[in-house]
A and B are shown apart, each in its own frame.
Chain A
Amino acid sequence: MADTPKNEKWRNDFPTPWNDDNYVTRREFTRFLVLTSGALTVGSGYFVVNRPRALAAERPESMAVATVDEIGVGEVKLFRFPTENDPAILMRLADDQYVAYRQRCSHLSCPVTYNHAQSRLNCPCHNGAFDAATGNVLFGPPPSPLPKIALKIEGAQIYATGWESEHPSL
Chain B
Amino acid sequence: MNKIERDVRNAQRTQAISVLMIFVIILFLLQLWLLTISMEQFLGGENRLAMPTFLASLGCFGINLWLLRYVNGIDAVRGKEENHS
Q: Which residues of A contact B (CB under 8 A)?
A: 19-20, 22-23, 26-27, 29-31, 33-34, 36-38, 40-41, 43-45, 47-48, 50-53, 106-109, 142-144, 167, 169-170
Contact = CB atoms under 8 A, between A and B. Distances in A.
Nearest to A104: B43
B42 A41 contact: no
Contact of B61 (A37, A143, A167, A169): A37
A140 B74 CA distance: 51
Contact of B28 (A37, A44, A109): A37
Interface string B35-78: 10011111111110011011001101100110110010011001
16 contacts: A19-B7, A22-B14, A26-B17, A26-B18, A27-B74, A33-B24, A33-B28, A34-B24, A37-B28, A40-B28, A40-B57, A41-B58, A43-B38, A144-B44, A167-B45, A169-B46
A36 B28 CA distance: 8
* Chain B interface category by residue count: 35 or more
B44 A37 contact: no
A-B residue pairs, 6 tightest by C-beta: A47-B38, A44-B57, A40-B31, A44-B54, A47-B50, A41-B61
B78 to A, nearest CB: 8
A43 B53 CA distance: 11
A45 to B, nearest CB: 5
Contact of B45 (A41, A43, A45, A169): A169
Given A23-B17, A169-B46, A40 B32 contact: yes
Contacts of A43: 35, 38
A167 B42 CA distance: 15
Given A34-B64, A43-B35, A52-B46, 7 more contacts: A26-B18, A27-B17, A34-B67, A38-B61, A41-B57, A44-B54, A47-B50
Given A30-B24, A33-B28, A37-B61, A44 B44 contact: no
Contacts of A144: 44-45
